[in-house]
Amino acid sequence: MDELNQQVNNGTVSETGQESVSDASVLAPPVIPTPNEQNNSVEPASEPVAPEPSFSQSDILAPRQNLSDALSTLQDFSNTPQPQPQEQNVQPEEITADTKLTVEENPQAEQSAPSQLYSYENDPNDHSSVRFLKDLYDNGNECMTSPAGSFPVNEETRKLLALFANGRFFVVGESRYDGRVLGFEYLAKKRRLQIGDPEYVTAAELTGIYTYADQIHTATDAISTEEAQRQTRMQRDFVTVISRAAINHVSDIHIVVADHTTVMFRVNGLMQTEMEYNKEWGESFVRAAFASSDISDSNYAQNEYQAAQKLGRTPLRGSGGRLVLPKSVLGLRLQFNPIAFGTRYVVIRLLYADENSAMGDEALESLGFTQYDINQFRYLRSLPTGIVIVSGPTGSGKSTTLQRNMIAMLKERNYETNLITVEDPPEYPIPGARQMPVTNAGIEEAKDREFTKALAAALRSDPDSLMIGEIRTLSAADLAFRGALSGHNVWSTLHANTASAVLLRLKDIGVEDFKLQDPSIMRGMLAQRLFRKVCPHCRVATKTQLNHPAVQRLREAYGDVGLENTYLRGAGCEECDFRGVSGRSAVAEFILPDTTFLDLMLKGETQKAMNYWVTDLHGRTLKEGAVEHMFKGEFDIEEVERWCGLLNQPNLI
């Protein structure tokens, strides 16, 4: 009673025994309870609520230095300034293709907390017994008032009380009437935290409760640190694999995780197994690749289809700025797929920095295009309006061809034209163009909506020319043709087998016939392929292999003249890394249509249209372009037949 009278005299408690201070003096950084905590919260008592206690925030609650994002919306409750993280000048770690990979037998082995925590007698009724403490912290029950808890209090208050996430509230029996205890109860109820009736303990027992909490937190930190170190090791492996691929100018990396992990490189169009490791390494590698991406879904889901992107100029996410991709790699496109009889199938497309981006037509020539092809491109770039579409299968070089032409067009027009591109995602930089990315979306329908939105925005942005990464939907096609009809020069790509099939593909998407029948709109259609170039050091002359079936077909088609300067693929040598091929070259067919050709195609008279194109419009087929390279000794005869059909069979592909 004397203690209570003393508190009244000090002004901390009124004569009625109730608290008597303003709300603002006890407010602390708020904690947003989870839905479970809200549903299970203990409501304030039904009797009249006591006036608020007269303790400041520092009297009861410990200041928080790192608030969660959820708390940032309620910063007005906190008067404690938040320290800003200091910038660190971290140098990227040098990783080369020679760096050894980390092979872990079981990187996901279950981690356990240290077995020896705070030790007491094992009496279950004793608040200081190990059994009691383990039961108290069971199922992740958190001590909210500990320094690492979600509602921390200062050191003096921790000597008096402890509150747990499940509502258990421990108070030192001798301090049950302490103003700080009463103030904490009021504040917790006001915050709608789950708080039950006080359970009275001794000061030593309360110390044991907090000591156990500290040791659990220390053990958790140790596990988190080890997990972070393992993640960093796998990110180093990720960079090492990319470095090995970049040295060989690999276009795609395929990772198949099943009973074991297989890593394959696609070089010059050929799939070759590069390395094999255990299943656990593969699963960790795939997760590290996803976590390192700059643009991806928020969470990695092993059984879902997911896409991600990684920019070459930024450090790997989560590496602390120490790990970066090789300088020659401009970026990565990653596709994560679930797979039957396995866990994951990942394909990584490597995009390389373009050293010829400022060379105009010379850059097109470096891709393998002939002077005939370059003249066709130059004519199409000179047209002020209409649409030009580049077609071909995945990996045929469509995006690179578009980029080189856009760079050449800007150079020809002295960069006095406004070129806007809409791409998902932008693959290569085009100096002088405004490249508009499409916001990453998780599902295909959302991607289509975002792509259409970006394309509509581009049309409202005063463009002179438009480059559309790919026409995939009717809405995108309508906007592309709207741009062509409104006086713009539009370039895009489409998945179609041949140049003539572009019309059929657009009609299949839903484009109206009147748009496809107008040659002032449909300016140009081209299809291209990438042919492997035979290694000049180990190639085999056809003259020495007259009984080879492909050589016999060559002689049947072109006579003995066909044996001059033509070759078969050799067994391989050191110069070509024992592959028999060295690099690839682009071959294209162009159709610059007129009204007659378009009418025949749309009426379904495809063969007549193709004959008209070859004879009256002097068209050159893909096969004719490939044979030209073959007679120069650049392509082996089997490579030509792979893309164009048998040499002794007439066709117009």
The residue extents of the domains of the chain are 2-67+92-216, 231-352, 361-530+584-619, 536-579+621-653
Rounded CA-CA distance 22/53 in Å is: 7
Residue 436: pLDDT above 60? yes
Any idea which residue has 């969470």 for tokens? 299
Residue 64: pLDDT above 50? no
Q: Note the pLDDT of residue 126.
A: 60
Per-residue pLDDT band for 604 (boundaries 50, 70, 90) equals: very high
Q: Note the pLDDT of residue 112.
A: 38
Q: Note the pLDDT of residue 60.
A: 56
Residue 185: pLDDT above 50? yes
- Which residues have a Cβ under 8 Å from the Cβ of 51 and sit 6 or more positions away? 14, 18, 19, 20, 21
Q: What tens digit of pLDDT does each residue of 147-156 get?
A: 888 888 898 9
Q: How many alpha carbons fall within 13 Å on the CB side of residue 548?
A: 18
Q: Note the pLDDT of residue 467.
A: 96
Q: Note the pLDDT of residue 456.
A: 92
Q: Which residue has the higher pLDDT, 311 or 29?
A: 311
CATH number for 361-530+584-619 (one of 3.10.129.10, 3.40.50.300, 3.40.630.30, 1.10.510.10): it is 3.40.50.300
In this structure, what token pair is assigned to residue 550? 């492909």
pTM over 0.85: no
| Cβ atoms < 10 Å from Cβ of 86 | 5
Mean pLDDT of 410-419: 94
Rounded CA-CA distance 48/40 in Å is: 22
Of 68-72, 293-297, 489-493, 643-647, where does the model show the most confidence? 489-493
Q: Which of the residue ranges 62-66, 259-263, 318-322, 570-574 would you say has the lowest mean pLDDT? A: 62-66
Architecture (CATH level 2) of domain 231-352: 2-Layer Sandwich (3.30)
Q: Note the pLDDT of residue 20.
A: 39
Rounded CA-CA distance 496/651 in Å is: 17
Q: Which residue has the higher pLDDT, 114 or 135?
A: 135
Partner residues linked to 532 by β-bridges: 584
Residue type for position 409? M
Say if CB 25 and CB 52 are below 8 A apart. Answer: yes
Indicate the average pLDDT of the chain: 81
Mean pLDDT of 102-120: 41
